[in-house]
Structure 1
Amino acid sequence: MQPRPQAETATDVRLLRIATDHLARFGPRRLTVTGVAEEAGMTHANVYRYYPSKADLIDAVAGQWLREVEDALADIVDGPDPVADKLERFVLAIARAYRDCAVDNPAIFDVYVSAVEASRGIARKHRGRQLRLLERILEEGIATDAFAPRDRERAMAFVIDAVQRFVNPVMVRIDVRVPATVLDQRLSTMLDVVLRALHAGWV
């Protein structure tokens, strides 16, 4: 197998655009590398030079969306807002990005859910990047005395556990028919508890 050319070439962008459209129209089962290749004006063998399998191509489509989510989260962490606001916006951004994708692009979201369930690379990398960004928020909160956790690892675990219903993609898919206003209200309540706990040093 030849090594994949460097990402973000014009061909990469074109293939991902076509594959994204096919995934939305046909779903992961009916999407074919041959169909993507035909629309791109190349042979399916040429597509395999960029993506060694159909699964790699589909994961690349989902990975493109996940990187957009990560970029938005990084902007929040790097912003000038008070750290408590950052934490709230960070969690809300994940919850809303996932819910919007589950509603508007269910095929892509289903690929992400299956990647989480199978612990595939795109899911592991995305979670790792999220955790590193969350850790930066907690470190900033400690440095500015906005948060006073008794144990940093327990504080991280507490935040994750508290908001799991709203940011776990499997749960997001289960709750997709629950009105967004109801979920936002519930999440707001949980975030209030989280911020109080971190400030008061309950964890």
Structure 2
Amino acid sequence: MSPPRRPPVPMADRIDARLITIATDHVRRLGPGRVTVVGVAQAAGMTHANVYRYFPSKQALIDAVVGEALKPIEAVLADIASAPDPADDKLERLVLDLARVYRDLLERDGPVFRLYVSAVEANRAVARRHRGRIRMLVERVVDEGITTGAFEPRDRDRALSFLTDVLYRFTHPAAVLADAGLARDVLDRRLAAVVRVALRALSVGLI
């Protein structure tokens, strides 16, 4: 008996992915300023009018490039948040890995990371969605810590704001870009010290 056939991937999804892949390659080779819908269309073997069926503008296509690059980051952090580890361990890993994967993306794919920084500075939807997903994961781990007694903040919302404030220096994409010339081990030691202080503040109710 032959195995069941998988349902075919919708053609639109395959075309979307192909266009994003081509646009990403053009960003890397040409820089975002020289990426054009016409150029992407020619590389895909279609008309630029057809590209607009999937992405209504060049900016929408560029945002899709950014969103695709952020998906693996969100997956890594979601796995941490869903792990069975104690909440304080998970929060530490979540923060350290967020800084690490951003730096990895910057070093591996600088043009795309800079597009992400631009999206953050312009408060574009792709950046807001990503920020919302990261905040949701942090909130989930903090809430778990409160439930289990690992964290005893005086005020949950103030505690979350405190985390955002103290970790900005190491996890905000603009700060990551600004620190591109600093040695990673130096930044890692500094971030680890900040995380220890933040975890202590959460655990003993300083905030």
TM-score over 0.5 for the alignment?
A: yes
Correspondence for 1:67: 71
For the residue of structure 1 that corresponds to 2:52, the secondary structure is: helix
| Cα offset, 1:8, TM superposition | 6.8
| Cα offset, 1:7, TM superposition | 9.7
Correspondence for 2:100: 96
Letter in 2 for 1:111: L
Greater gyration radius: 2
Does 1:161 find its partner at 2:159?
no
| Cα offset, 1:80, TM superposition | 1.1
How far, CA to CA, are the matches of 1:22 and 1:7 in structure 2?
Answer: 23
* Equivalent residue runs for 1:110-189 within 5 Å: 110-189=114-193
Letter in 2 for 1:50: Y
Letter in 2 for 1:105: D
Structure 1 ranges of 4+ moved more than 3 A: none
Correspondence for 2:37: 33
How far, CA to CA, are the matches of 1:184 and 1:8 in structure 2?
Answer: 42
Correspondence for 1:20: 24
The percentage of aligned residue pairs carrying the same residue is: 54
| Cα offset, 1:66, TM superposition | 1.4
How far, CA to CA, are the matches of 1:128 and 1:64 in structure 2?
Answer: 16
* Range 80-89 or range 180-189, more displaced: 80-89
For the residue of structure 2 that corresponds to 1:9, the secondary structure is: helix
Runs of 5+ consecutive residues of structure 1 not aligned to the other structure: 1-5
Runs of 5+ consecutive residues of structure 2 not aligned to the other structure: 1-9
Please, which of 49, 73, 77 is the counterpart of residue 81 of structure 2? 77
Alignment length (residue pairs): 198
